[in-house]
Amino acid sequence: MPSLRSRALSAALIAAGRRRRFASAEAVRARVAESARRPASHLPPRWLGKVAEVSRTFVGAWPVYDVSPLGAEPAARVLYVHGGEFIDELVRPHWALIRTLVTEARARCVVPAYILAPRGTADRTVPVAADLLSGLIASGGDGGTVLIGDSAGAGLALAAAQRLRDRTGAQPSRIVLVSPWLDVTMTHPDQAALEAADPLLARPGLVEAGRLYAGTLATDDPRVSPLHGSFAGLAPLTVFAGSRDVLVTDSRELVRRARADGVEVDYHEAAGLPHGYPLLPVPEGRAARAEIVRLVRSATDGD
């Protein structure tokens, strides 16, 4: 049974009409057009600079933020790939998780503000993400490297890990996926029933966002939808998902297919929780964040 706070938050999301953002392809196209006219900021909040050292470089056209413990050597390295259905920038809950990783896990977090769809498409985005992961693994130092992504960012993260495996065989110490969106085709037969209870997401808008991200690629191309790729040789996976999420089918399929390919998978499915619950201010979210901190702390030099 979800906590009272979680149930209240889900009810508030429904009352606020958050699903309307994904109610139709037209709604998504209107958001993308508005973002082109008035781009949202991906800058870190000012409060982050009070607890961490924050710098920014550019990898091609991507701004990449480097967030490290203030006055201390990092104990581990994290590449964090943010969600937002490939069309939204970093927002406050993402930065709050990054702050937690820096202050509680003493991690150096590398955070790309990747180019959003439709300008940023999978054929361009996945190789850059793989290069960032490769560079962070190769940078060495104490501790290991953990790859973390949420929602669409989890799909990009997994595709980057698959590409790096195919290219060099290298992998991070662990891959952590939060409510991952791994198949933008949105064709799983269970999704129709799940959608009715989802307080945040709806299939029509997700299909359009996925189409924009796919660009000239097929939506079932593994670079776009890594659930259609292979999993053998990937790092151990930890996956968090809520059962009140139309995308929970992706997590369930990932667990089944990855284990069949011999990958170690640690799966956490929270009953009655919505999409992205580990980023939410609810008891279940705090517990999930504590587990993510533990996983980062436990990363070893076995990159």
pLDDT tens figures, 202-230? 999 999 999 999 999 999 999 999 999 99
Residues 6+ apart with CB under 8 A from 294: none
What is the chain's alpha carbon radius of gyration, rounded to the nearest angstrom?
A: 18
154-173 pLDDT, tens digit each: 999 999 999 999 999 999 99
Element (H, E) at 284: helix 283-297
Strand, coil or helix: what is 112? strand
Q: Report pLDDT for 171.
A: 96
176-189 pLDDT, tens digit each: 999 999 999 999 99
Q: Read off the pLDDT band of 55 (50, 70, 90).
A: very high
Which amino acid appears at position 232 of this protein?
A
What's the rounded Cα separation, in Å, for the pair 37 and 92?
A: 22
189-204 pLDDT, tens digit each: 999 999 999 999 999 9
Q: Report pLDDT for 279.
A: 97
HSE value, Cβ hemisphere, 13 Å, CA-based, for 140: 0
Mean pLDDT, residues 293-298: 96
CB 151 within 8 A of CB 179: yes
Report residue 71 as tokens.
């006055």
Closest CA to 157 of 104, 234, 255: 234
Report residue 220 as tokens.
């079932």
β-strands 237-244, 174-178: how paired? parallel
Mean pLDDT, residues 82-110: 97
Which residue shows structure tokens 């999409």?
A: 275
Report residue 109 as tokens.
């977090």
Q: Report pLDDT for 142.
A: 58
Residue 213 burial class via C-beta count within 10 angstroms: exposed 0-12, middle 13-18, buried 19 and up: buried
What's the rounded Cα separation, in Å, for the pair 75 and 299?
A: 9
pLDDT, greater one: 301 or 188: 188
Which DSSP symbol is given to 234?
P
β-strands 62-69, 52-59: how paired? antiparallel
pLDDT exceeds cutoff 70 at 269: yes
pLDDT exceeds cutoff 70 at 300: no
Triad 261, 125, 278: Cα angle to 5°? 65
CB 173 within 8 A of CB 300: yes
